[in-house]
Structure 1
Amino acid sequence: MKTFIAFCSLLSIAASASAQEWINPVIKDYGKIKFYKNAELVPDKNTEYKMVFDLTLDSQGDSINKGLNKIARAINLLGASGVPKEKMYLVGIIHSNTTSVILSNEAHRKRTGKDNPNMDLLKVLTENGVKFYVCGQSLAHRGIDIAEMNPYIDLSLSAMTSLTYFQYRGYALMP
């Protein structure tokens, strides 16, 4: 029995030692992933990846928006698999409860008393080729003026028409 327990303990330690570490290979500090070199199905580095993210989830307090972090995770997964940035076409359509991520630090401070916690991630994502659009209808419903937008966001007429526009152009919808 002691031999069996010792064997199980050793097996457990070995399994822990071989566990993959969390990494951020492309977008540092955001979108951490575990990369498995022995995975059967991985992104093909010769394929163009066109994704449109439907961003509707609100940030939690002072933390970054989960949808933005999801985009960072997608870039990290693709990058870790050897997909070059030139083959990544990612777009974020911001609407509904996510609309506040578009606020500049000044506008965010006026509304909440704090800087926009998403500014650094938005900057890094746009530097990595991600394009962001905010739904004009959501701005109107939330009383946000386009002058309050940060420089990483462009205006679209609506999320409804923008999501359709990108899907018709071959972008996979990422809810």
Structure 2
Amino acid sequence: MLFTAQSKQAGPVIPTHGAVWPVENPDYKTRLDEPLKVVFDIMESPDSPDQINARIETAARFLNMHAQAGVPTENLHVAIIVHNKASKDIIKGGAYRERFGVENPNEQLVNDLLQAGVQVVFCGQSSLSRGFPRTETIEGVQLGLSAMTALIQFQNDGYRLVKF
């Protein structure tokens, strides 16, 4: 079997991030008519403060991939739980620049995810232990008691945990 070169395709949900490879005629069919509820556990982050967090971008890939495959966006329910080293990635412009000397490369991505209806929950324990107060987080990010609590509650609500 010969494979032909294809390019990743951007969007349609998050046009600036999360390009995916189109898969034509898969054997295992995607069910287009049922909800896909996913919660991503995001605790790792690149060491360099000027690099985007590929784990956060996974949420954009999930949305774009399924929308491209024909899953209606109203069937896509996505949450990301941010804690540990990834705490810095949800800090807004001025506070991030003050700490790291560069713009937050994740800020636009996080804003686009929030705009697309993704719930972004920041671990309150990480907020306090890592010194990133709620006042420094990107608008729309929710502060929770803990990542553990949020992960359990989302799973209790039928979300499936994906740890990439």
* Cα shift readout 1:125-149 (whole Å, capped 9, x = no counterpart): 1111111000000011101221111
Structure 2's unaligned 5+ residue stretches are: none
1:34–1:42 Cα change, 3 Å: farther
Runs ≥4 in structure 1, deviation > 4 angstroms? none
Which one of the candidate residues 56, 64, 72 is aligned to 2:52? 64
Give the partner amino acid of 2:66.
L
Aligned length: 161
* Cα shift readout 1:12-65 (whole Å, capped 9, x = no counterpart): xxx46x333211132223112111121112421101010010011113521211
After superposing the two structures, state which structure 1 stretch, 24-33 or 156-165, moved more: 24-33
8 Å CA contact 1:93–1:134 kept in 2: the answer is yes
1:47–1:60 Cα change, 3 Å: farther
Higher-RCO chain (CA-CA 8 Å, sequence separation at least 6): 2
Q: Does 1:113 align with 2:75?
A: no
Name the TM-score, length of structure 2 as normaliser: 0.92
3-state DSSP of counterpart to 1:90: strand
Counterpart residue number, 1:45: 32
Instruction: Percent identity, please.
Output: 32
Q: Identify, as 1 or 2, the structure richer in helix.
A: 1
Tell me how far apart the structure 1 counterparts of residues 112 and 132 of structure 2 sit (CA, whole Å): 24
Q: Does 1:22 align with 2:3?
A: no
Cα offset for 1:117? 0.8
Name the TM-score, length of structure 1 as normaliser: 0.86
Tell me how far apart the structure 2 counterparts of residues 21 and 102 of structure 1 sit (CA, whole Å): 30
Structure 1's unaligned 5+ residue stretches are: 1-10
Alignment root-mean-square deviation, CA: 1.5
Counterpart residue number, 1:4: none
Q: Does 1:136 align with 2:124?
A: yes
